[in-house]
Amino acid sequence: HRTVALIVAAGSGSRAGGAVPKQYAIVAGKPLIAHAYHAFAAHPAVDEVVVVIADGAEALAEAALGLVRTVVGGATRRESVALGLAAIDADYVLVHDAARPFVPAGVIDRVLAALDGAEAAMPVLAVADTLVRDGAVVPRDGLSRVQTPQGFRVDALRAAHAGWPAGEEATDDAQMVRRLGGSVALVQGDAMLDKVTHPDDFAAAEARVTWETR
C-alpha cells in the first residue's frame, strides 16, 4: 500500500488569535505544524507527507518546514481536504489537522491497521465530563470525542467528497464516508492529540509535551 499523510493547515486560526495563524506559532521550541509533520515523516508506514496551506502562506510554510510538498487549500476545511486529495497518488490517506501537534506513532499504527477491515478509521476518546444541553444532562454512554489522524482508503474518501451536497458543511471526513454508507472503524485516540483551538490551548499543548518527555 502507498500511504500519504495529508496535513490540513490552510485555516486562519481566528479563534486562537496571534500574529501568525496558529499552525505557525512556536510551541515547544518549533512551529506548531513542524511537530506533526515530523511525526508522519518519521513513521515507517508513511510514504509521503503533503501539506495543504493557505494561498499566500508559501513563505510561512517554508520557514516552518523547509522545502516540503504543499498544495493550496480552500475556504473551508472540507475544501482544503478535497484539494489535497486531488493532488495525491495513494492507496491510503491519513488526514490530519495541523492544529493537533503531537501525534503518537501508536495512533498511526492503530488507524492504519483498522483500514484492513473498513473504509475509514478514526481515533476517539471517551468523554469524561458530565455533558449538558441547555443545562439538562445528556447521557454520555457511547459518546466520544473524535480526533485526527483519520485514515481512509483513498477511493472511499474521494467518493465521499464527490457525493457531498454542495453548501453543506462537514468538519470531519470520517463522518462524510459514513453518511454515504461507508464503514468507519473506531480506534483508541490519545489526549496528546488534543487540538489547539483557543489562546489557552497553546499553554496546554506545551504542558502536554513537557509531561510526556519528563
Count of other CB atoms within 10 angstroms of residue 150 = 25
Q: DSSP 3-state assignment of 76?
A: coil
What beta strand segments (E) does the chain contain?
3-9, 26-27, 30-31, 48-53, 69-72, 92-97, 120-126, 131-133, 136-138, 144-146, 150-153, 184-188
Q: DSSP assignment, residue 117?
A: S
Q: Quote the CA–CA distance of 42 and 27 in Å, as a whole number.
A: 19
The answer to whether residue 97 forms part of the interface with ligand CTP (CB under 6 A) is: yes
Output the smallest distance, CB 195 to Mg ion, in A.
10
Per-residue interface string for the shown chain with ligand CTP, residues 55-84, x marking contact by CB under 6 A: ------------------xxxxx--x----
Residue number, 113 or 158, with CB nearest to ligand CTP = 158
The answer to whether residue 119 forms part of the interface with ligand CTP (CB under 6 A) is: no
The answer to whether residue 195 forms part of the interface with ligand CTP (CB under 6 A) is: yes
Residue number, 134 or 169, with CB nearest to ligand CTP = 169
Question: Letter for the amino acid at 3?
Answer: T
Where does this chain touch ligand CTP (CB under 6 A) — which range of 6-14, 104-112, 120-128, 156-164?
6-14
Output the smallest distance, CB 15 to ligand CTP, in A.
3
Is-contact 34 77, C-beta < 8 A?
A: no
Among 6, 10, 65, 94, binds ligand CTP (CB under 6 A): 10
Q: Quote the CA–CA distance of 186 and 163 in Å, as a whole number.
A: 23
Output the smallest distance, CB 169 to ligand CTP, in A.
11
Is-contact 127 143, C-beta < 8 A?
A: yes
Where does this chain touch ligand CTP (CB under 6 A) — which range of 2-10, 62-70, 131-139, 149-157?
2-10
Binders of ligand CTP among 159-188, rule CB under 6 A?
none
The answer to whether residue 12 forms part of the interface with ligand CTP (CB under 6 A) is: yes
Q: Quote the CA–CA distance of 54 and 6 in Å, as a whole number.
A: 14
Residue number, 5 or 10, with CB nearest to ligand CTP = 10
Give the footprint of ligand CTP on this chain (CB under 6 A).
8-16, 23, 52, 73-77, 80, 97-99, 195, 197
